[in-house]
Amino acid sequence: MAARARTRPPMSTVILLNKPFQVLCRFTDPSERATLAEYVDVPEVYPAGRLDYDSEGLVVLTDDGALQHRISDPRHKLAKVYWVQVEREPSDAAIAALEGGVEIRGQRTLPARARRIAPPDVWVRDPPIRVRAAIPTAWLEIVLHEGRNRQVRRMTAAVGHPTLRLIRQAVGPWSLGGLRPGEWRHGDPNALAMLQRGRPPRRRSGRPGASRRRSEERR
């Protein structure tokens, strides 16, 4: 009997999108607000986790249900990195409170990492944040291993520093890189498994994808 040829399972698709401000983290909306469908024209991919309408930055999409679960389920404690612009300069006590956990709706957040950072080299938001001359702003980097609803905003408000702008810079092994708002690129679908095995993820080459609107303009 001839040996049966072995077939390799199809490679999962991973899309890394820089979600713009005031875009819903889904593909349809009955109220006709902007959605991911305006930026990602790849069939059968869905966001692994969510990013608020008024937040910006990295959204990971995939067509692999198991991978989607590993990314989004808080039990896996995948690190998520946020750059946060807040009102006023946080004190050492405020930073320590963010790291130690704060009470949000009767539950304490898990320990996190928080530090002050220089203003990052990021795009200008449209529309821009509100600016009050008498109140300075500062930037923080906050790393979470959980994902409650509007958690970062509620954490900074709890220590007296309301969030003005929120950008997700990384999810596990994937990061924004040089993506501009509305742009996407393919990510390595094996990056998470390699990270969990203690191996550095490989970089995937490929040109960034633009939004559907930009693609239509080039035709």
Residues belonging to the active site: 52
Q: Nearest Cα to 104, choosing from 168, 162, 150, 167?
A: 150
Distances (CA, A) of 79 to 9, 15, 67: 28, 18, 15
What length is written for the chain?
A: 219
* Of 45, 55, 52, the residue nearest 16 (C-alpha): 45
Q: Which residues contact 8 (CB under 8 A, 6 or more apart)?
A: none
Number of Cα atoms under 13 Å in the Cβ half of residue 197: 8
Residues in contact with 188: Cβ distance below 8 Å, sequence separation at least 6, in sequence order? 14, 173, 194, 201, 202, 203, 204
The DSSP secondary-structure symbol of 49 reads S
The secondary structure element, H or E, covering residue 18 is strand 14-19
Phi-psi region of 88 (alpha: psi -120 to 50; beta: other; left: phi over 0): left
